[in-house]
Structure 1
Amino acid sequence: MMDKHAVMICGHGSRDDFAIEEFNSLAFHLRNRLPEIEIESGFLEFATPIIRTGLEKLKAKGAKKIVCLPGMLFAAGHVKNDLPSEINNFGAENPGIEMVFGRELAIDSKLLRAAQDRIEEAERNASNSIPRKDTLLMVVGRGTNDSDANSNVSKVTRMLWEGMGFGWAEVSYSGVAFPLVNEGLERVLKLGYKRIIVFPYFLFTGILVRRIYTWADEIATANPNIEIVKASYLNDHEQLIDCFLDRIEEALNGSNNMNCLLCKYREQIIGYEHDHGAAQVGHHHHVVGIGTDGHEASDHGVHHGHHHHGHNHNHDSDHHHDHNNAHKKD
């Protein structure tokens, strides 16, 4: 039995077995880097083990403080609503355990270096030698209904564009946001660049990454005079692992505040005014545990409605989560 802190890595989840394997590989690397800390991992939706299972394991091992770390690049609905709902529910049921919600990976110099490496790998493996001034970089984000999260992809793109010296760069998304990858590629073909590098700014593989590569292949087949190069996603790059370790350290030291200045739940963001002040509840319960093992979802004792902590996104409140959760106002 332990009486010190532990870490729960909270993944999105996928119906793709390879995506689950890659996420589990990340958790393996973190355990190797932090052998003194008990680490469990689980998924929000589409796969098992679910997050509740991992939390229960840490509880059974005697954890008195659990750092819950989002295994996600940016803070959209899952980080702002679904994960806090899971964590707060568990904390409310276990008042003897201190729950700390770490922040998302966000825009980080380590992740930019990892992205640079993936793009340079693609350049080295390309068939032709084409200078960057004649190359267009297409960075592909996941796409959400949160403009704050979507805009982070644009910032990453701009920093890679200027930092690596490409002739041009554009952003597209695998879903939800505009433009989609196929639409974005059709538009940039008209700019006249000799090479287009398609870089999925994703942590792991999965259905969406395969869709991105399929679109790239279709564009390449239809446009043989333009070289379409597919770069790898981040996966288990050493800099990504280092970034996760930084987030764990921040959470343990109490310096893991999220950037809430443009959160659509705190501020009236153009086009999302109806979300301002919305209650913080999960919306993922119908797909918890469904996925790669074929098991049906169940509620596993998790309550997805309001609870006595009364968390909400009302800008007039203190707007913080109990148990030192990160999404709070200074």
Structure 2
Amino acid sequence: MADFQAEPSVERLGVLICGHGSRNRLAVEEFAQMVEQLRPKLAPMPVEHGYLEFAQPILREGLESLRQQGVTKVLAIPAMLFAAGHAKNDIPSVLNTYTAETGLPIDYGRELGVDRLMVAAAGSRVQEALHRASDDIPVSETLLVVVGRGSSDPDANSNVAKVTRMLVEGFGFGWGETVYSGVTFPLVDPGLRHVVRLGFRRIVVVPYFLFSGVLVSRIRQHTDLVAADYPDVEFLSAGYLGQHPMVVDTFRERVDEVLRGDTAMNCSLCKYRAQVLGFEQDVGRAQESHHHHVEGLAESCTLCERECTGACQPNGVPLEAHSHEHEHEHGHHHPPYPHAEHPLGPLTLSQTSKASKDFPRNP
């Protein structure tokens, strides 16, 4: 890796870590704490952070802070697990607009991606869950379920499946499946009800998320609901990635890549650049942000102290932050997902959905 302190340059470099933002106060706290852990690893370069939505500081404020510290060139790193709309469109749109307005050069790095360090961090969370197991069921008789965020970008969704496979082979699990918290299919509830039929005595559920938030809470609570219907199966909920040291080291590597000029992304499977099967209509779509209406909106739900518990919902399961109603209410329009009506997909979120009926509960 590059020695940042010895880096000869007439430029004053600074780093901006670009987050999504959350209504969940714990998630915002965890993100800020991760940035604090990163600062000494990147010294003497100043490091700031900003969010697309639902939290402060916003990206522009982070950039302004760097400029006030005398930074003449910014290295911006998307704090995204995989490259989908936020990393490809929303964040670059904000950065490009700021450069056009101020003239401040910004070099953009790549997402965390499928990386040996990230897989190892997820493996650490899996191991922690296995240590909590109630009895001695072999790993070969245990099923692993990795829960991804879910995206309208098939490239990002497929990367979650790759992480699943690497964990399955790394541990030697008996089986592995990938489900998603929203947007695509299968969702958590129907996915778990499907895999429980395979007959494994233990199922480990891993939320492949950086930090806490509404979606992580929803994954945990959907898992508990399914587990209650199958008392003969041991369900273990693993922790999310969080501030694992290997996650912090991955961010440092992404900065190092920008310094080397080595930030190539996988454009061959990008639906905005190539004719990807089923998503041909997205080629050449304009690069623009869909988050201006909630930029800096830091109001949090007051029913839960720090982490979402679903207290506002009759079934105790948190609603997704980007619900269909949310989009219409604020004019927040993302490109349509062609499989939104898939029977195991977004329209099955409700507990009374067809998918839950198709995968009946234990008598």
Shorter chain as normaliser: what TM range?
0.7 to 0.9
Instruction: For residue 267 of structure 1, give the secondary structure of its aligned residue in structure 2.
Output: coil
Q: Residue 79 of structure 2 aligns to which amino acid in structure 1?
A: G
Are the counterparts in 1 of residues 24 and 300 from structure 2 also a CA contact under 8 Å?
Answer: no
Deviation at 1:3, TM superposition (A): 4.8
Match of 2:253 among 246, 251, 255: 246
1:70 partnered with 2:110:
no
Aligned sequence identity (%): 51
1:221-241, Cα deviation, whole Å (9 max, x unpaired) = 111100000000100111111
Deviation at 1:255, TM superposition (A): 0.6
Q: Tell whether 2:285 aligns with 1:278.
A: yes
Structure 1 residue 181 displacement after superposition: 0.5
Task: For residue 286 of structure 1, report the CA deviation from its aligned partner.
Answer: 1.4
How big is the shift at 1:293?
5.9
Q: 1:110 maps to which residue?
A: 117
**Residue aligned with 2:269, SS:** coil
CA-to-aligned-CA distance 1:104-130 (integer Å, 9 cap, x gap): 000000011111110000000122221
| Counterpart pick for 2:165 among 158, 161, 179 | 158
**Contact 1:197–1:229, Cα closer than 8 Å, also in 2:** yes
Q: Aligned partners of 1:39, 1:293: CA distance in 2, in Å? A: 26
1:267 partner amino acid: A
Q: Deviations over 1:151-176 (max 9, x none)?
A: 00011111111121000000000001
- CA-to-partner distance for each residue in 1:209-263, whole Å, 9 max, x for gaps? 0000001111111111000000001001111111000000101121111111100
Q: Structure 2-normalised TM-score?
A: 0.79
Matches within 5 A, 1:99-178: 99-178=106-185
Q: Is the 8 A contact 2:126 2:206 kept in 1?
A: yes
Alignment of 1:33 with 2:48, yes or no, is: no
1:23-70 Cα shifts (integer Å, max 9, x gaps): 001100001222311000110111111000010111111111100110
* Unaligned stretches of 5+ residues in structure 1: 298-330
Cα pair 2:74 2:105 within 8 Å, conserved:
yes
> How is 1:191-270 mapped onto 2 (pairs within 5 angstroms)?
191-270=198-277
Give 1:291 deviation, angstroms.
3.0
- Equivalent in the alignment of 1:86: 94
Gaps of 5+ in 2: 1-9, 302-329, 331-363
Question: 1-side partners of 2:206 and 2:282: how far apart?
Answer: 31
CA contact (8 A) 1:137 1:166 kept: yes
Native 8 Å contact 1:47 1:293 kept in 2: no
Contact between 1:144 and 1:150, CA under 8 Å: does it hold in 2?
yes
Q: Deviations over 1:276-312 (max 9, x none)?
A: 1111111111111113469xx9xxxxxxxxxxxxxxx
Aligned counterpart in structure 2 of residue 4 of structure 1, from 12, 15, 19? 12
Q: Is the 8 A contact 1:141 1:200 kept in 2?
A: yes
SS in 1 for 2:267: coil
Distance 1:253 1:44 in 2: 27
1:229 is matched by which residue type in structure 2? L
2: CA distance between counterparts of 1:77 and 1:3? Answer: 31
User: Using the alignment, how far apart are the partners of 2:33 and 2:136 within structure 1?
Assistant: 34
